[in-house]
Amino acid sequence: MAPATKALYKQVFPVKSDLESAGKVSTEVRRILRSLGVEPEVVRRAGIVCFEGEMNIALYTKGGRIILIVRDDRVELLFSDRGPGIADIDLVKQPGYSTAPDWARELGFGAGMGIPNMEANSDRFAMYSRVGVGTVIRATIFRRCHETCGGNRAPGT
Ligand SMILES: Nc1ncnc2c1ncn2[C@@H]1O[C@H](COP(=O)(O)OP(=O)(O)OP(=O)(O)O)[C@@H](O)[C@H]1O
Ligand SMILES: [Mg+2]
């Protein structure tokens, strides 16, 4: 496999363990991607992936961070948190599985669709977790112009 191209843009966003500012990172990520001229469909998918990952960090963890990396051919989102970790990754990937508490369900969370939606909107999706330590998710979305926007293209075409 060809190595990933050089990062055009990289930013780290801390995510707190509360809902007060939850959603801000995904709004900012969408804004950044649009301003970089990333294809609207890629911005849309990255926005969904980012929002769901951000909400899960805010709701279920002690806090963490999201790293946005934009390359010529792809957008990468890396989520990491400080625990509690996930014992059964296959289980949390199942549509409908949720441990959201009642107060979160009253706010509209808890359909158990966040991680399935993250996976469905990513071209590559990997989750690693260690109970008592934390969880890392890497989501990759390939850009539409992957084949045609590379260095081989003649200027103006
Ligand atoms: N970063 C995380 N650390 C620990 N547990 C997590 C993390 N993210 C998700 N989970 C667990 O996985 C379950 C499924 O997550 P998912 O995002 O798919 O659904 P949900 O958050 O419960 O509901 P929805 O996202 O549809 O509002 C959560 O209920 C929670 O138990
Ligand atoms: Mg969720």
Q: What is the pLDDT of residue 34?
A: 98
Ligand 1: list residues with CB < 6 Å.
52, 56-57, 60-61, 81, 84, 86, 92, 97-100, 109-116, 135
The residue to mutate among 115, 127, 136, having the most atoms of ligand 1 within 8 angstroms of its beta carbon, is 115
Task: Give pLDDT tens digits along the chain (157 positions).
Answer: 666 688 899 999 999 999 988 899 999 999 999 999 999 999 999 999 999 999 999 999 999 999 999 999 999 999 999 999 999 999 999 999 999 999 999 999 999 999 999 999 999 999 999 999 999 999 999 997 655 444 444 444 4
Q: Give the global pTM.
A: 0.92
Classify domain 8-145 by CATH number. 3.30.565.10
Where does residue 113 rank: exposed (0-12), middle (13-18), buried (19+ CB within 10 A)? middle
| Closest residue CA from atom 25 of ligand 1 | 114
- β-strand partners of 81: 64
Dist. CA 157–CA 144, nearest whole Å: 16
DSSP line for 77-121: EEEEE-S---S-HHHHTSTT-----HHHHHTT--SS-HHHHHHHT
Please state the atom number of ligand 1 nearest to the C-alpha of residue 97.
14
Domains of the chain, residue spans:
8-145
Best residue for ligand 1 mutational test, from 98, 121, 130, 133 (most atoms within 8 Å of Cβ): 98
Report which protein residue has its CA nearest ligand 1's atom 11: 92
Centroid of ligand 2 to alpha carbon of 109 (angstroms) = 7
Q: What is the pLDDT of residues 81-120, one digit of tens each?
A: 999 999 999 999 999 999 999 999 999 999 999 999 999 9
* Distance (Å, whole) CA 119 – CA 122: 5
Q: Ligand 1 centroid to 93 CA: how many Å?
A: 9
Distance CA 14, CA 154 (A): 40
Contact 95, 119 (CB under 8 A): no
Distance 150 CA to ligand 2 centre (A): 35
Rounded to whole angstroms, the Cα distance separating 145 from 118 reads 22
